Amino acid sequence: MDSETRQNRIIELARARGRVEVVSLAEELQVASETIRRDLKALASRRLLKRVHGGAVPAETAAFESGLEYRSQVDLAQKERIAQAAAGLLHGAETVYLDEGFTPRLIAHQLADQRLTVVTSSLLAAEALAHSTTVTVLLLGGRMRGRTLATVDQWAVDALRGLVIDVAFLGTNAVSREHGLTTSDPAVAAVKSTAVTVSRRSVLVAAHSKFGLSNFCRFADVSDFEVIVTGTELGFAEATTYEALGPTVLRV
């Protein structure tokens, strides 16, 4: 198996499994572990994979976006800490925007006993609040994306433009100092960008694995956010470089 074929196979396996390990790949592809390490390094340099201890995980790209099943399994403990910390940042807010994605769904659970109006594009976030007796949920209309169970396109954007929201909790596929916040779908980027524009405060909720990456569609600058909530898995030194751009970085 030549290197191009092998690397394509590694990408397929990473996207199917959510993570690949050096040792198991070497056995499966019948090559030396050092060969796999070189392959992972090459794929990471092309931003198709992100290296982690002992292996790699797939990077979000214009051609690949992870689904909800994958997102609900990866960095789960970290995402739960992030959601709990984010819910503590209401600071008297009465209106909240919850983005699509798994972490905003976890935030929704944390907000269920608050007295709020929650606007969301996410069917999952709306479902998490369906039985709350204190939260009023406004679900944006539009085309539903099956991969994330969230609405996009002009109906969603137009509805958001008519609102003034106290605080928005947004996720991202990737965030970097050079390119800001990016995602893989222009329709998703339009909704996210509008949410940032109409909100008095914006809070980014992102696991450490999202940092240092860039994707296809830019929807905000790092400086557009008041707070970034992430895990302690993001190193202090790297967090400081994002704080230098404006937001407070809360590592939990």
Domain borders along the chain are 3-59, 69-251
- pLDDT given for residue 15 in this prediction: 81
Rounded Cα gap, residues 211 and 238, in angstroms: 9
Rounded Cα gap, residues 74 and 84, in angstroms: 17
Reported confidence tier of residue 66, pLDDT bands at 50, 70, 90: low
Give the dihedral of Cα atoms 51, 181, 110, 91; nearest 10 deg. Answer: 130
Instruction: Render pLDDT for 193-222 as a digit per residue (tens, 0 to 9).
Output: 999 999 999 999 999 988 998 889 999 999
Instruction: Render pLDDT for 90-108 as a digit per residue (tens, 0 to 9).
Output: 999 999 999 999 999 999 9
* CATH label, 3-59, candidates 1.10.10.10, 3.40.50.800, 3.90.550.10, 1.20.1250.20: 1.10.10.10
Dump strand ranges (E) for 109-211: 116-120, 135-139, 143-145, 150-152, 165-170, 174-176, 180-183, 199-205
Domain topology for 69-251 = Rossmann fold (3.40.50)
Claim: this prediction has a pTM higher than 0.75: yes
